[in-house]
Structure 1
Amino acid sequence: MGDFECKLVSEQSREIEPNMEAVLKPILIIVAVLVVLLALAAGLIWVERRLLGLWQDRYGPNRAGPFGLLQVLADMVKILTKEDWIPPFSDKWVFVIAPTIIMFTVLVSFAVVPFAPGIFIADLNIGLLFILGMSSLGVYSVALGGWSSAAKYSLIGAVRAAAQMVSYEIYMGLSVMGVVMLAGSFNLREIVDAQQNLWFVIPQFPGFIVFVIAGLAETRRLPFDLPEAENELVAGFHTEYSGMKFGMFFVGEYLGIVLISALTVILFLGGWHGPVLPPVIWFFLKTFVFIILFILFRATFPRPRYDQLMSFGWKVMLPISLLNLVVLGGIVLAGGF
Structure 2
Amino acid sequence: MDHWFLGSFDTHIPWWFILVAIKAVAAFAILVVLTLFNIWYERRVVSWMQMRVGPNRVGPQGLLQSLADGVKLALKEDIVPANADKAVFWLAPVVSAIPAFLAIAVVPWGPEVSIFHHWTTLQLVDLPIGVLYVLAVSSIGIYGVVLAGWSSGSTYPLLGALRSSAQMISYEVAMGLSFAGVFLYAGTMSTSGIVGAQQSRWFIYLVPSAAIYIISMVGETNRAPFDLAEAEGELVGGFHTEYTSLKFALFFLAEYINLVTVSALAITMFFGGWRAPWPLSLWSGANSGWYPMIWFLVKLLIFVFVFIWLRGTLPRLRYDQFMAFGWKVLIPVSLLWLLALATFRQLKNHNDLTGANGTAFYVGVAVLFLIVLLGLEIRERNRIRSTPPLSVPGFQPLAGGFPVPPMPGQSAPPVARRTQYARTAALTAATNGTIAEEANPE
Query: TM-score range, shorter-chain basis?
Result: over 0.9
Corresponding residue for residue 105 of structure 1 = 99
Counterpart of 1:200? 203
2:109 to 87, 110, 115: 115
Amino acid at match of 1:32: A
- Paired residue for 1:300? 313
CA displacement 1:260-314 (0-9 Å, x = unmatched): 1100000000101112442111111111111111111111110011001001111
- Letter of the structure 2 residue corresponding to residue 226 of structure 1: L
Structure 1: distance between partners of 2:308 and 2:341: 31
TM-score relative to the length of structure 2: 0.72
Indicate the residue corresponding to 2:130 in structure 1. Answer: 127
Please report the RMSD computed on the Cα atoms of aligned residues, expressed in angstroms: 1.6
- The question of 1:23 aligning with 2:17 is answered yes
Write the deviation string for residues 201-235 of structure 1: whole angstroms up to 9, x where unpaired: 11x10010110111001110001100010011000
Q: Where in structure 2 are the equivalents of 1:1-337 lying within 5 Å? A: 20-117=14-111, 118-202=121-205, 204-274=206-276, 275=281, 276=283, 277=286, 278-335=291-348
Bigger fraction of residues in helix: 1
The separation in 2 between residues aligned to 1:139 and 1:101, in whole angstroms, is 9
> What is the distance in 1 between the residues matched to 2:85 and 2:268?
40
Q: Which amino acid aligns with 1:228?
A: E
Q: Following TM superposition, by how much is the alpha carbon of 1:19 offset from its aligned partner in structure 2, in angstroms? A: 5.6
Residue type at the aligned position of 2:186: A
Number of aligned residue pairs:
325
Task: Give every structure 1 segment of 4 or more consecutive aligned residues whose post-TM-superposition deviation is greater than 4 Å.
Answer: 11-14, 16-19
Structure-1-length-normalised TM-score: 0.93
Indicate if the aligned counterparts of 2:212 and 2:330 stay in contact, CA closer than 8 A: yes
**Uncovered stretches (5+) of structure 2, i.e. residues with no partner:** 5-9, 112-120, 354-442
Which runs of no fewer than 5 residues in structure 1 stay unpaired?
Answer: 1-10
Larger radius of gyration: 2
User: What's the CA shift string for 1:21-68, capped at 9, x where partnerless?
Assistant: 111100011111111110000011000000000001111111222211
State the identity %. 45
* CA displacement at 1:125 relative to structure 2: 0.5
- What is the one-letter code of the residue matched to 1:157? G
C-alpha distance in 1, partners of 2:145/2:187?
34
One-letter amino acid of the structure 1 residue matched with residue 27 of structure 2: V
Aligned equivalents of 2:322, 2:100: Cα separation in 1: 24
CA distance in 1, matches of 2:314, 2:12: 54
Q: Secondary structure at the match of 2:43?
A: helix
Does the aligned pair in 1 maintain the 2:3–2:15 contact within 8 Å?
no
Contact 2:199/2:272 (8 A) holds in 1: yes
The whole-number CA distance in structure 1 between the counterparts of 2:47 and 2:228 is: 23
